[in-house]
Structure 1
Amino acid sequence: MIQHLQDTITLNNGLQMPGMGLGVFQVENDTTAEIVKNSIEVGYRSIDTAAIYGNEAGVGEGIRRALASTDLQRTDLFITSKVWNDNLSYEETIAAYEESLEKLGLDYIDLYLIHWPGKNKYAESWKALEDLYEQGKIKAIGVCNFTIAHLQDLLTFARVIPVINQVEFHPRLQQTELQAFCQEHHIQLEAWAPLMQGGLMDNETIASIAEKHGKTIAQIILRWDIQQGVITIPKSVRIERMRENAAIFDFTLSDEEMDILNKMNEEHRVGPNPNDFDFAL
């Protein structure tokens, strides 16, 4: 379990990835640069973006500004992006990676993910990711929103095991069977929408735990993630919220409190179900 904001988790290929980062989903490109710069100056080292977010250029500009204003080097940062569903042939995936790299203005991407499995659309794309990885153009490769069935299928032909499965994960959607499968196969689980897109901010059960610790509901949920060994990437656009989200390393949830949160699962999604949504464009 990580103990500080910049602590890392070792992925199955030996790469070190920060256990907590910043997500920039639904952040406008023209505001992304300042947000990313601020987050790095606050202490975040992991930034998660995607081609479909339309803000990779802003992320890259924010990185350049942060490196200019600090003593940090590019190697101190961990940058994730993702290939979208209209680019899942082999050639399209290669081109999409190169386009993301150009927009980010980087020499390499630390982690590159298939954004959604679609309807059996990922085999060629995964081969492309494997080739990019083996050529040293990506430090690690993984997937998003893959169910157990998707992962089982992928593992029948993959030369490289995914390092990450990034999925919707929060107290109302705990995906315990998927989490166990990923642990068994040394695939790190990463949470998107860890705060259920704000849907838990008035939850009385979590509020009572937060009051006991002198913390916010968001801090309790993020601490719950960390204590389970799940990488988390909450979205924040304000410095104050970035600092607040990161202030979760000075307390510990008890076994009883963890159990209370663990019993909140309702298999409730705020995003699409990967089993019946293929994002065909």
Structure 2
Amino acid sequence: MAEGAEGRPGRAVRLNNGEWMPLLGLGTFRLRGYEEVHRCVDAALGAGYRAFDTAAVYRNEEELGRALRELLPKHGLDRSQVFITSKLGPRDQGLGAGEALGRSLAALDCGYLDLFLVHWPGTQGWEAADLRNPENRRQTWVALEAEHRKGQVRAIGVSNYTSAHLRQLLQECTVPPAVLQVELHPRLPQTELLQLCRESGIHLQAYSSLGTGELLGHPLVQEVARSCQRSPAHVLLRWALEQEVGVIPKSSQPTRITENAQIFDFLLSPEAMEWLGQLADGTHYCWDPNTVT
């Protein structure tokens, strides 16, 4: 596993654009209102998080940007020491994607974006099987490549793309995606996607690592947690890190945010990884993009 930008082994990965990306970030899905966002960002910065993940559809970009501007000095940090990701809303797919990126950047008011992702392979209001989807994805990427060249965003990538979507993009793009963010956990290990990303120099980042919370109570996960004297959340997050997959756990509880950061000082044994591998059954707890043409 890579050594981080601050010299912390295993805490960051170098992307294909040469920039460092922390392997642990704070997810902000469903964090709403400035007070909640401020409280969570404060706890995250104090616990060592240096990456923050938002999206246009989360409707909290402005709150996140404001919280970071106010809290970075408190924690002795500046903008260059945090990694900020946002995502293109599905309604903005197509040649207007560049304007949407500009709106996200204005809302965050953070100078530049470290990473901007296409949130979904389809377009809002279209059927998943709509044959226009591939061409709209192509136009989206052309627009984002233009913004990347302008320097408004340091890296561009995609989210919820399947292997088929990703292969199409790789055949057409000038700037390859730096990151693919997908639902990934022991029940949905995304083995084919992970291998394709490794072969293509793309960093795979997981969301819903805890299976929307349902995996925390799984008997096998709990047994592994007992065996290594860690929490089920630690086990599930560490399972991803063992495969050099980044994680962005979300919580609205400062204590949980702090606890979730404690995943860099232990390893899962090969036996534990094998046990967790028995859970693979293709279960999606969130959205399944395989129906999108």
TM-score (normalizing by structure 1): 0.94
Greater mean deviation of Cα atoms: 37-46 or 52-61: 37-46
Give the SS at the match of 2:238: helix
Unaligned runs of 5+ in 2: 123-132
Please give the alpha-carbon distance, in whole angstroms, between the structure 1 residues aligned to 2:22 and 2:9.
Answer: 8
Please tell me whether the aligned partners of residues 206 and 245 of structure 2 are also in contact (alpha carbons under 8 angstroms).
Answer: yes
Moved over 6 A (4+): none
Give me the whole-angstrom Cα distance separating, in 1, the residues matched to 2:58 and 2:179.
19
Determine what percentage of the aligned residue pairs are the same residue.
39
User: Does the aligned pair in 2 maintain the 1:42–1:239 contact within 8 Å?
Assistant: no
Give the letter aligned to residue 82 of structure 1.
Answer: K
Which residue type is aligned with residue 19 of structure 2? L
Asked if the contact 2:40/2:257 (under 8 Å) is kept, the reply is no
- The alignment status of 1:162 with 2:171, answered yes or no, reads no
Whole-angstrom CA distance in 1 between matches of 2:143 and 2:277:
38
Distance in structure 1 (CA, Å) of the matches to 2:152 and 2:12? 21
CA contact (8 A) 1:2 1:8 kept: yes
Cα deviation, residue 37, structure 1: 2.6
How far, CA to CA, are the matches of 1:2 and 1:26 in structure 2?
31
Spell out, residue by residue over 1:172-211, the C-alpha distance to the aligned partner (whole angstroms, 9 max, x if none). 1111011111111111110010111101111111111111
2: CA distance, partners of 1:83 / 1:29: 21
Q: How far did 1:38 drift?
A: 2.4
Determine if the alignment matches structure 1 residue 36 to structure 2 residue 41: yes
* Residues in 1 aligned to 2:154 and 2:85: alpha-carbon distance in whole angstroms: 10
Q: In structure 1, which of residues 235, 239, 257 is the aligned counterpart of residue 250 of structure 2? A: 235
Q: Does the 8 Å contact 2:43/2:258 carry over to 1?
A: no
What is the number of equivalent residue pairs in this alignment? 277
What secondary structure is seen at the aligned counterpart in 2 of 1:215?
A: coil
1:60 aligns with 2:65: yes
Contact 2:11 2:264 in 1 (8 A): no
CA contact (8 A) 1:167 1:190 kept: yes
Please show how residues 5-154 of structure 1 align to structure 2 within 5 Å.
7-30=11-34, 31-90=36-95, 92-118=96-122, 119-120=133-134, 121-154=136-169
Distance in 1 separating the partners of 2:143 and 2:253: 37
Contact 1:29–1:56 at 8 Å: present in 2 too? no
SS at match of 1:47: strand
Structure 1 residues without counterparts, runs of 5 or longer: none
Do the aligned partners of 2:10 and 2:264 also contact (CA within 8 Å) in 1? Answer: no
